[in-house]
Every structure is written in structure tokens, then in C-alpha cells.
Amino acid sequence: MATALTILIDGLSYASWLFIVALGLTLVFGVLKILNIAHGSFYALGAYAAATFVGWFASMKFAPEWSLVAMLLAAVAVAVLVAPLTERGLMRFFYGRDEVLLVLVTYALFLVLEDVTKLLWGANPYYVSEPYAMFGNVEIGEQVYVGYDFMLMGLAVAVGLAVWWGLNRTRQGKIVLAVIHSEEVAASMGVNVSRVYMLAFGVGVFLAALGGAFTAPLISVQPGVSVGVIIVSFAVVIIGGLGSIEGAAIGALIVGLARSFAVHVMPQAELFSIYIVMALVLMVRPEGLFQRIQARKI
């Protein structure tokens, strides 16, 4: 029996981790003009790393609260290790090429990372349970909700504010905004675009891994998680508008709530509800709800 509140909380919880991940995806597109299929793989790496770090902390007899730190460290570790390697070691050889070609490059990267995670962690699923239990349950009226979900919502808000503040209130952030707006003009004004690329890509990977790390307790971490995540993330950034921060938030909300509504009320629509919205947005307003780039249309 699904009440409106259940649908809402379920939707918001789903939207929370989705927002964090999509934010990274849209940021990378905004700055580097790359629609990164491997973004889902970074999510998976974050989830796997979280499983490992949480396991380490547990085996070292740290208190359960430290598992949150473990997850955060996992995301940082993934970003620090993977982002420079990927951006400097692969992506930069294809900068300036056709945007669809870049998608294909990221598709190849996705294929590679699928097997890399299998080689590093094996094919069996991991379960990260400690953090989930930490937050207990919350009773609202007659329904019981999982505390972890509310923590996720808080995390999403915190991340959103942090990124917003970082972009709009710091000098480095404004430089990033300038590059998003017009790379040519920024470069001609002396901005080191190469460094902005590295920074943006690093933050993008971090956000994907963060989303993965903090979602790990909710899922079974196994090969293939990246596949579903990337496609939903695409839907979010298309709906919200490629390169738009607000768009990632609104898009995540729409997708989260649509999915939640479908799951509880109309299960037949669960899977395609998201993609119908994505297709409709592409047909009616391809720039997404928050126009950043013009759709290539005739």
C-alpha cells in the first residue's frame, strides 16, 4: 500500500544518489564537451572501492560510524587514482574531435573498465551492510522508512550546495564557468584550459565514485551495475539539459519521482517511464529544461 509520502520519499532517495552521479556527468560535458559512457564505470569503481574500504575499516575494528569515512575515502581514492590516468592518458588524445566520436571513445573505456573491475574484484557480488544499519529506521505516521535514505538526501543537498558554491563563489569555480560558457574566449583571456579540464574531470569522477560509494550499501555490488546507472544518468542530463547544474537536480528529481511513481502505482511502466520522458524531452525541447547548448537540429 503506497502512500503519497512513500512515493515521495522513495523518489527523493533515488533522486539523491542519481543527482550526485548526474552532476558529475553534466559537469564533464559542460567543460570537456564529452558525454562519458564510462561515467557509470566510475560509479561502479566507487561502489567496489567502498566495499573494500569499509571491509578494511571493519577488520581494523573501527567503530561503525567510521564506515562513512571509509566510503568518502573510497571515492577520493578512485578520483585521485583514476581521473588523471584517464584524462591525461587517454581522453586528451581525442580532444577536439567529433562529439559522437568521443562518446565512442568513452564506450571503449567502459568496455575496458568492465573487465578491469572484474579482474580486481572478481565476479561475485559484494555487500556493504554496516553503514546501512547505522541510521536505523524512521517512523512517520504509520510507515517506517529507512534512515539511510534520509542521509542520502542530506548528502545530495550538501554536494549540490558545495558544487554550487565552488562554481559561483570561488575564483577557480568562476574560471570553470567561463570555460563552460566559451572555452575559446576563456583561453584567449589566459585561462589554462588544460588545467580546468583536469579539474573538471577529476570532480566528475569523484562525484560518480561518491554516488557509487554511498549507494553500495543499498545494492549488491557486482559486475554490470555500471550498465544500468549510465543509462539512467543519460536520461537525467538530457532532461535537465547538458552542462546545466540546476538541470541535473531537476532532472534527477523528475526521474526519481517518475520511477518511484511507476514502481508503486504502475509497475508495468517502471522501466520505460524514464526513457519515455527522455524521448519526449528530446522531441519537444532537445536542449533540456535548462538550456545550455543548442541542439543540433535541422
Instruction: Give min distance, CB of 149 to other proteins, in A.
Output: 24
- Please identify, using beta-carbon distances, which residue of 66 and 110 lies nearer to other proteins: 110
- Please identify, using beta-carbon distances, which residue of 83 and 232 lies nearer to other proteins: 232
Instruction: Give min distance, CB of 114 to other proteins, in A.
Output: 5
- Please identify, using beta-carbon distances, which residue of 21 and 213 lies nearer to other proteins: 21
- Please identify, using beta-carbon distances, which residue of 80 and 282 lies nearer to other proteins: 282
Instruction: Give min distance, CB of 80 to other proteins, in A.
Output: 23
Chain centroid to CA 168: how far? 20
Return d(Cα 183, Cα 16) in angstroms, integer. Answer: 30
- Please identify, using beta-carbon distances, which residue of 11 and 131 lies nearer to other proteins: 11
Instruction: Give min distance, CB of 120 to other proteins, in A.
Output: 11
Longest Cα separation, the chain:
62
CA dihedral 289→293→294→297, nearest 10 degrees, is -90
User: CA 133 → CA 3, 60, 129, 211, 230, distances in Å?
Assistant: 24, 19, 7, 18, 27
Point out which residues bind other proteins (CB under 8 A).
35, 90, 93-94, 97-101, 103-105, 107-116, 118-119, 123, 227, 231, 234-235, 238, 242, 267-276, 278-279, 282-283, 286, 295-298
> 173, exposed or middle or buried, with CB in 10 Å at 0-12, 13-18, 19+?
middle
Instruction: Give min distance, CB of 188 to other proteins, in A.
Output: 21
Quote the cell numbers at residue 87.
Answer: 584524462
